[in-house]
């Protein structure tokens, strides 16, 4: 029988900082552009290609260089590619929804498709940051021009001021016609954006 | 009962930690949206034939300088379920304490036979093994004489499991002053490898490092 009470759980290995030298040679271009599938194959993820341009900013307004940024999102129909949804006919075979890049400067450009709305949610992308000086911080960002933001349960749990900080703005189109969204992810200090605790539950 | 999330702590003598650590408490996630915060990482990683052996850049090249070690262990979630087919990305400094990373500008020597990066996968029982060169400690803050103790970086990804951590070495003089070790407190012991002898293989010693991936994300996918 598997242990299932809090006290039976094994004690986890401590998360630790990724440090400044995450190997650049571990980069995978396919994880930096989810708007396409592997080259040489007649296949295209469903949905509207977008480019998310972000700046990671520290407490002093400087760019947070050398940061590893990870993305997790639903496909165009609002379905996450997880075992829980295996067999769902709305799974897009050409879209995983997990992305990763390391930004040398602290600015990044992530190519993907606009996530669809899941039940009761506004379109969003979960963003995880690993960098020197911190272990792991997690947030979710939204799109200012998308329907459903006003009733999204996560946004509703925040003040108006904080909601705005998680909202990427539509700023033009790329040469290929992808909508460009921009977001400043302020990690600390004035204008710090909300980060979320995925280890502690309400009431625990 | 907690009505708010953790307050992240700032590492002592760690300037970057001061610059980048959020000052507000983490926010609680409404239960109804919790699952959306649990990434599921596809198996996309690749590994070259000899990548489990970081003591050589490739099988046909000489061994790097320093003490060759084996690191092995079992990857599990906090319920004790083995995590199979997960990718471990590994990186460590060379014998002298220098990374072959384009942004490591220190004047510590490089070793022409040491790359210092590799990827391995866990087997069906969650076990992994790799060889590397025991890394050198290096002076991280010359202005205050604070060293980074010997450590190996490990990044685990597979399914609902995601963890970036470091394995430290037992009885190292610089362990006690490391900013992240200080934040871990008594829990630091769990991040220290346990020595074992390796009489039958071509390394000098072994370190056992069992990894438990915490958090509740994996339970969505069991």
The domain ranges of chain A are: 38-186
For residue B183, the Cα-to-chain-centroid distance in whole angstroms is 16
Reported confidence tier of residue B207, pLDDT bands at 50, 70, 90:
very high
Cβ-nearest to A83 among B78, B213, B221: B221
Q: What percent of chain B has pLDDT over 70?
A: 95
Reported confidence tier of residue B48, pLDDT bands at 50, 70, 90:
confident
CATH topology of domain B41-221: Protocatechuate 3,4-Dioxygenase, subunit A (2.60.130)
Sequence-separated contacts (24+) of B99-107 with Cβ below 8 Å? B99/A21, B101/A20, B101/A21, B101/A23, B101/A24, B102/A24, B103/A20, B103/A21, B103/A66, B103/A104, B104/A20, B104/A21, B106/B138
- Using the predicted structure, report yes or no on whether residue B42 has a pLDDT greater than 80: yes
Reported confidence tier of residue B1, pLDDT bands at 50, 70, 90:
very low
Give the mean pLDDT of chain B: 94
- Using the predicted structure, report yes or no on whether residue B219 has a pLDDT greater than 80: no
- A interface test, pick of B14, B15, B22 with most A CB neighbours within 10 Å: B22
Contacting residues of B for A199, CB less than 8 Å apart: 6, 214-216
A29: contact with B, CB 8 A cutoff: no
Distance CA B69, CA B203 (A): 5
Q: A82-109 pLDDT, tens per residue? A: 989 999 999 999 999 999 999 999 999 9
Mean predicted confidence (pLDDT) in A128-132: 98
Contacting residues of A for B42, CB less than 8 Å apart: 81, 96, 98
The domain ranges of chain B are: 41-221
CATH homologous superfamily, domain A38-186: Aromatic compound dioxygenase (2.60.130.10)
Cβ-nearest to B212 among A13, A59, A98: A13
| Helix-strand-coil split of chain B, %, nearest 5 | 15, 30, 55
Q: B70-120 pLDDT, tens per residue? A: 999 999 999 999 999 999 999 999 999 999 999 999 999 999 999 999 999
Which pLDDT belongs to residue B47? 81
Which pLDDT belongs to residue A3? 46
Cβ-nearest to A204 among B2, B20, B104: B2
Mean predicted confidence (pLDDT) in B112-129: 97
Which pLDDT belongs to residue A6? 63
Beta carbons within 8 Å of B150's beta carbon, 6+ residues apart: B134, B135, B136, B137, B168, B169, B172, B174
């Amino acid at each position: 029988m598997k242990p299932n009470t809090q006290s039976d759980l094994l004690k986890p290995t401590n998360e630790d900082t990724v440090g400044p030298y995450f190997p650049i040679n571990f980069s995978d271009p396919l994880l930096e552009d989810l708007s396409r599938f592997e080259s040489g194959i007649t296949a295209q993820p469903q949905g509207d290609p977008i480019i998310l341009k972000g700046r990671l900013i520290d407490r002093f307004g400087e760019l947070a260089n050398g940061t590893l940024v990870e993305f997790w999102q639903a496909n165009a129909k609002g379905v996450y590619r997880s075992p829980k949804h295996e067999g769902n006919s709305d799974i897009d075979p050409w879209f995983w929804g997990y992305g990763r890049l390391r930004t040398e400067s602290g600015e990044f450009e992530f190519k993907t498709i606009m996530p669809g709305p899941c039940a009761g949610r506004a379109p969003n992308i979960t963003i995880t940051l690993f960098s020197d000086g911190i272990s792991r911080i997690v947030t979710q960002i939204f799109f200012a021009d998308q329907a459903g933001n006003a009733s999204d349960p996560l946004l509703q749990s925040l003040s108006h001021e904080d909601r705005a900080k998680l909202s990427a703005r539509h700023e033009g189109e790329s040469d290929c016609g992808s909508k460009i969204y921009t977001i400043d992810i302020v990690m600390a200090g004035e204008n710090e954006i909300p980060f979320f605790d995925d280890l502690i539950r309400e009431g625990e | 009962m907690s009505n708010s999330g953790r307050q992240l702590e700032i590492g002592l003598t760690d300037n970057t930690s001061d610059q980048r650590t959020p000052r507000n408490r983490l926010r609680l996630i409404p239960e109804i949206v919790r699952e959306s915060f649990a990434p599921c990482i596809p198996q996309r990683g690749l590994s070259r034939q000899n990548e489990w052996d970081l003591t050589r850049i490739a099988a046909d090249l000489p061994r790097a300088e320093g003490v060759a070690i084996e690191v092995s262990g079992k990857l599990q979630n906090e319920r004790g379920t083995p995590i199979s087919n997960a990718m471990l990305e590994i990186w460590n400094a060379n014998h002298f304490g220098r990374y072959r990373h384009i942004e490591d500008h220190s004047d510590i020597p490089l070793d022409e036979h040491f790359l210092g990066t590799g990827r391995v996968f866990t087997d069906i029982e969650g076990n992994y093994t790799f060889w590397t060169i025991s890394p050198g400690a290096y002076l991280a803050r010359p202005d205050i004489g604070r060293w980074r103790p010997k450590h190996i970086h490990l990044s685990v990804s597979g399914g609902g499991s995601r963890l970036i951590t470091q394995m430290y070495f037992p009885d190292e003089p610089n362990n006690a002053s490391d900013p992240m070790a200080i934040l871990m407190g008594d829990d630091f012991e769990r991040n220290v490898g346990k020595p074992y002898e390796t009489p039958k293989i071509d390394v000098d010693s072994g370190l056992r490092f069992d990894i438990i991936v915490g958090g509740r994300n994996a339970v969505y996918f069991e």
